[in-house]
Amino acid sequence: MQGYSGWKVFKEGLRRQMGWRQAWRDPVPQESYDVVIVGGGGHGLATAYYLAKNYGIRNVAVLEKGWIGGGNTGRNTTVVRSNYYYPASAALYDHSVKLYEGLATELNYNVMFSQRGMITLAHSRHDLEAATRWVGAMQLNGVDSEMISREEIARRVPALDMSPAARYPVWGGFMQKRAGTARHDAVAWGYARAADSLGVDIIQNCEVTGMVRDASGQVVAVDTSRGRIRAGKVAMTVAGHSTVLADMAGFRLPITSYALQAFVSEPLKPVIDTVILSLATGVYISQSDKGGLVVGGSLDLYPSYAQRGNLPTMRNVLGAVAEQYPSLGRVRFLRQWAGIVDICPDSSPIIGQSPVPGLYLNCGWGTGGFKAIPVGGTLLAHHLATDEPHELARSFSLERFTTGALIDEAAASGIAH
């Protein structure tokens, strides 16, 4: 594929994956749309699909400065889960898991959703007490979760160092059996194909360079690298660069962007059949269907838009893997990348109306963006179509930073989400 543009790579991938004989529709931007969605990742494509499918709003354009799924949607570790502490978060993410469970059938495209379960490891008595509280909250919120013993973890994850002398001794943990993984690019492609078939215009290589407001202050158009496009409403779904677009519109968001490190190893025979998260290190690991170990870890310690590695963070993440899984210490890694995540002060997203009329937000997901693609699209489409927030989105409006009604998942669970 070397030398191909992102657009050609994307179309070639579609032909391989779906056996298409014809190229994807490549529309020329119209002068005006009912809705313009800025950002052609999972959330933007899902929003366009649900606008067309659920509300019949098809005069919609999705604008992407690169190629579809080439941003953070393709730079994550593919985990889907709903093990959150607060009722609002639990309802939001569990609805997303339910949508994932039927997504392949709905889109008529295999997103490779594998509910292999997720184990969260406790490494001390304090971890175990926090995990017990966490599980109790999830069960009260109607989310499946159960404590599991040290012996059960040893049986399920034989590669894990369970010795008394381990640097990170395992005291026990808990498991969500409905959690799992999905293929990130397949989710983007599935939503893109479905939205395209309903008449949505998906316009790649079209960077937004400015927001146009009328005398009343309402956003009425966007300036792009392919000209000005008028819009009845504009939606922002630009993970990692939300503050950049907010600045264009003339307001500030309570968001800081960080790079999140991730890795994929050489293919191995099956060695891990679940997703495992360590509370002590913040590192999580799973194994893809191709055999590669998929590892995610810490945020870089400073704000950045750079989609590249930071050596100290990379060393900490891979060092934790080698410590916890000694038999994997000599495994070679094929590639490393950094996704840019938008972190709100309470580690929860912002969904709904912005301070600028005509501009709507879907941002601040932090490390939870991929798992929330179906629900993020559902909620934003509802607000765009009805001018009312979806019931699941009411607690996640921007106003909570004024009222103080935060949903602090980082503090609740002891690990950033």
Rounded Cα distance between 251 and 240, Å, is: 17
Rounded Cα distance between 39 and 395, Å, is: 24
What CATH number was assigned to the domain covering residues 118-177+256-343? 3.30.9.10
pLDDT digits (tens, 9 = 90+) for 106-163: 999 999 999 999 999 999 999 999 999 999 999 999 999 999 999 999 999 999 999 9
Fold (CATH) for 6-76+184-253+346-413: FAD/NAD(P)-binding domain (3.50.50)
pTM, two decimals, is: 0.93
* Backbone dihedral angles phi then psi of residue 334, each to the nearest 5 degrees: -85, -40
Give the strands of the sheet with 284-287, arranged side by side. Answer: 146-148, 172-176, 118-122, 275-278, 284-287, 292-303, 256-267, 333-343
Say whether 118-177+256-343 and 6-76+184-253+346-413 share the same fold. no
Which ranges of the chain have pLDDT less than 70?
A: 1-25, 413-417
pLDDT of residue 268: 96
pLDDT of residue 297: 87
Domain ranges of the chain: 6-76+184-253+346-413, 118-177+256-343
pLDDT of residue 22: 38
pLDDT of residue 13: 55
pLDDT of residue 414: 57
Residue 8 belongs to what H/E stretch? helix 6-18
